[in-house]
Amino acid sequence: MSTIELPAYLKSPGENDYYYGTLRYEPVTNHWVIEGEAAVCQAAKRLFPGADGRSRGIARFKSNKRTNGDLNWLMMRYPLKVIDIEAWEAQFNEAVSYVLRREEIRRGPQKIEPSPLYFNGQLTEFQKEGVAFLCNNAPTLLADDMGLGKTVEALAWIATQNRYPGIIVVPTSVQTQWKKQIEKFIVPQTNPCESALFPDLATQVHIIKGLKPYDLPEANFYIIHYGLLRGWKSELPEYKFEFAVFDEIQELRRTGTEKYSAASLLSESVGNAIGLSGTPVYNQGGEIYNVMNILEYQCLGDWGSFTREWCYGYGEMVVTDPDALGEHLRREGLMLRRTKDQVLTELPAKRRVVQEIDSDEKTFTREMKSVFELIDRYDTISDILEKGRAKREISQEVRQATGIAKAPYVAGFVRMLLEAGEAVVLYGYHHAVYEIWMEELAQFNPVRVTGQETNAQKELAKEAFISGKSNLIIISLRAAAGIDGLQKRSNINVFGELDWSPGIHSQCEDRTHRMGQKDSVLSYYLVCGQGSDEQMMEALGFKTAQFAGIMGEKTESEEDKAIAQVEIGKHLDRVIEKLKRSGTQRGATRRH
């Protein structure tokens, strides 16, 4: 028995001599229905955002382990006659157990390791704690820092439950990777009495293809990428999956799309859902509301009340106190976040520096010609929507012009590193920029993972880099999610172009800064004095504060920046010394 004292709001209201109405349970839809006086219905509709019941005297809302405690609290103030007492006691006891277990985890982390009968792998101690958190709190968000093994923790959570089938929603680029991980860690079962698993691995995982629905074959894991959700919007909820995993759930940080709507319906139909993301907030803090709403509908209240209380006003996306919001998510069991420096004390520090480089002024002027034409047209536009589109186009064109103008100088910087024997991960955004880099650095046999390759080509490129066939891999800033293995080959990241989101940069950095990395990861941000770089750097400072606050992290201090500059300086000294020695050796060879 737990020694933790039961919170006051979870104590039984007991018998009363007056009831404000009745409480009944609808098992098919898993809803509670209050029918009674205006006072209790009004309070219920305030307490449970999204409660149905426009008619007077009725309030209808979802039952779950988080809201049932609040329902008990409501009945302490407005006693209700419970119609189905057994249903209420069962679900109320679940709410009590959840609160007690959550408090136990908060006071001293619990650990769960799945049976080797179902799971083929060894978990670290912090990963066992993660599995315990997921088992107790799902639906919830696992927001561990990138590189800490969220995929493995999710599979261990699935194996612990041992209930199938389930669905995993992923970015396009990691479908094959998830299939391989499932086949590696999940032990197929041969006894149909114990499990729905099949002994043949080929039937254990099915990757859903195409937008047009078809009859899904028998499997235990179904994998679908976000781009296909809209086509399967009506069909997937009918399968009643036992679990759902939304990998890189920041894909759903924006509402108003068919993808978001389909994901919401799927998650609601499953109930037992988790999200995985080391960077759930890319820009403004309000994005976390959209992400959490997928996992558990209105767990942060309705959008209006959330923005009024947590942000700068109704409809605003900027969170006023990111630290407080992050603490609330963690305290309520809605999010678990561990960083590398908390759990991997042996992992070397991550260092970054902003390095100013030159750009070709003539090239920039030539590329900006179309921008100036757009600006001239922009001033004549009266339609608000068209003006907005023109403004975004101007921003995109300036950004590309900046990238093209500095591309040869980025290539020169990378060439210096390559000639010194370094293995480099080079990040960019525009295809025109990639082509310049490929041409300028052709002698180093570069490989690439951008938006133009097939999944098979991307896998070949990654393997060529990891195996040492190439010392340079060029990756799109927006294609880095889910790529693993680079940490075995390199500790040098070069950002030849910038993204507007600090979350994207963090995700890219952590392709090399993860479990298995032996050296301090060095990230060079190459910026020039003209074009879009300066404005983007300013914007990133604000956005980093929103991300760091909600995630419970500190922004980089001036001391951290100074240390990074020293470390980067040492690295460049070593690079230059290697080049000098190499030059001396080449000269000696020519003389002889």
| Per-residue pLDDT tens over the stretch 44-82 | 988 887 777 667 889 999 898 888 999 999 999 999 999
Q: Where are the domains of the chain?
A: 8-101, 110-343, 350-357+406-581
pLDDT at 575 over 80: no
Preceding amide of 165 cis, omega within 30: yes
Give residue 190's pLDDT band: very low, low, confident or very high (50, 70, 90).
Answer: low
Q: What is the mean pLDDT of residues 154-163?
A: 96
pLDDT at 561 over 50: yes
Q: What is the mean pLDDT of residues 258-276?
A: 95
pLDDT of residue 581: 62
pLDDT of residue 130: 94
| CA atoms of 60 and 50, how far apart (whole Å) | 9
pLDDT at 306 over 50: yes
pLDDT at 474 over 90: yes
CA atoms within 13 A on the CB side of 424: 29
Considering the entire predicted model, what is its pTM? 0.68
Q: What is the mean pLDDT of the chain?
A: 85
pLDDT of residue 558: 57
| CA atoms of 291 and 316, how far apart (whole Å) | 16
350-357+406-581: in CATH 3.40.50.300: yes
Most confident range (mean pLDDT) of 276-280, 467-471, 476-480 is 467-471
Most confident range (mean pLDDT) of 172-176, 198-202, 328-332 is 328-332
Closest CA to 410 of 433, 442, 443, 444: 433
**DSSP-assigned letter for residue 11:** S
Cβ(307)–Cβ(300) below 8 Å: no
pLDDT at 557 over 80: no
Give residue 411's pLDDT band: very low, low, confident or very high (50, 70, 90).
Answer: very high
pLDDT at 219 over 60: yes
Bridge partners for 335 per DSSP? 141
Give residue 164's pLDDT band: very low, low, confident or very high (50, 70, 90).
Answer: very high
| Between residues 21 and 189, the one the model is more confident about | 21
3-state secondary structure 215-271: CCCCCCEEEEEHHHHHHHCCCHHHHCCCCEEEECHHHHCCCCCHHHHHHHHHHHHHC
Q: What is the mean pLDDT of residues 476-488?
A: 80
Lowest mean pLDDT, pick from 118-132, 416-430, 540-554: 540-554
Give residue 356's pLDDT band: very low, low, confident or very high (50, 70, 90).
Answer: confident
Give residue 192's pLDDT band: very low, low, confident or very high (50, 70, 90).
Answer: very low
Cβ(439)–Cβ(408) below 8 Å: no
- State pLDDT tens for residues 84-103: 999 999 999 989 988 888 88
pLDDT at 236 over 90: yes
Spatial CB neighbours of 205, under 8 Å, sequence gap ≥ 6: 179, 182, 183, 219, 220, 221, 222, 223
**Count of CB atoms situated within 10 Å of the CB of 441:** 21
pLDDT of residue 261: 96
Residue keyed to tokens 């060894």? 122
**Count of CB atoms situated within 10 Å of the CB of 349:** 13
Q: State percent of the chain over pLDDT 90.
A: 45
3-state secondary structure of 125: helix
Spatial CB neighbours of 138, under 8 Å, sequence gap ≥ 6: 157, 272, 273, 274
pLDDT of residue 118: 94
Q: What is the mean pLDDT of residues 102-128?
A: 87
pLDDT of residue 364: 82
Q: State percent of the chain over pLDDT 70.
A: 88
| CA atoms of 139 and 472, how far apart (whole Å) | 40
Amino acid found at 348: P
Which pair of structure tokens corresponds to residue 1? Answer: 């028995």
Cβ(244)–Cβ(472) below 8 Å: no
Amino acid found at 249: I
pLDDT at 393 over 60: yes
* Residue-wise DSSP of 373-389: HHHHHHTT---HHHHHH
Bridge partners for 493 per DSSP? 425, 523
pLDDT at 193 over 50: no
pLDDT of residue 107: 75
* Residue count of the chain: 592
Residue keyed to tokens 């329902």? 71
Q: What is the mean pLDDT of residues 571-587?
A: 56
pLDDT of residue 1: 42
Cβ(283)–Cβ(290) below 8 Å: no
Which pair of structure tokens corresponds to residue 27? Answer: 């098992």
- State pLDDT tens for residues 33-46: 999 999 999 999 88
| CA atoms of 113 and 131, how far apart (whole Å) | 7
Burial label, 590 (beta-carbon count in 10 A; 0-12, 13-18, 19+):
exposed
pLDDT at 198 over 50: no
Contacts by 47-52, CB closer than 8 A, 24 or more apart: 47/74, 49/298, 49/301, 49/302, 49/305, 50/297, 50/298, 50/302
Bridge partners for 25 per DSSP? 32
The helix/strand count (H/E) of the chain reads as 20, 17
- State pLDDT tens for residues 412-463: 989 988 987 889 999 999 999 999 999 999 999 999 998 788 888 888 999 9
- Give, in words, the CATH class of 110-343: alpha beta
110-343 and 350-357+406-581: identical CATH topology: yes
pLDDT at 200 over 70: no
Most confident range (mean pLDDT) of 140-149, 345-354, 576-585 is 140-149
Cβ(299)–Cβ(564) below 8 Å: no
Q: What is the mean pLDDT of residues 227-245?
A: 96
Bridge partners for 140 per DSSP? 274
Which pair of structure tokens corresponds to residue 243? Answer: 């679990």
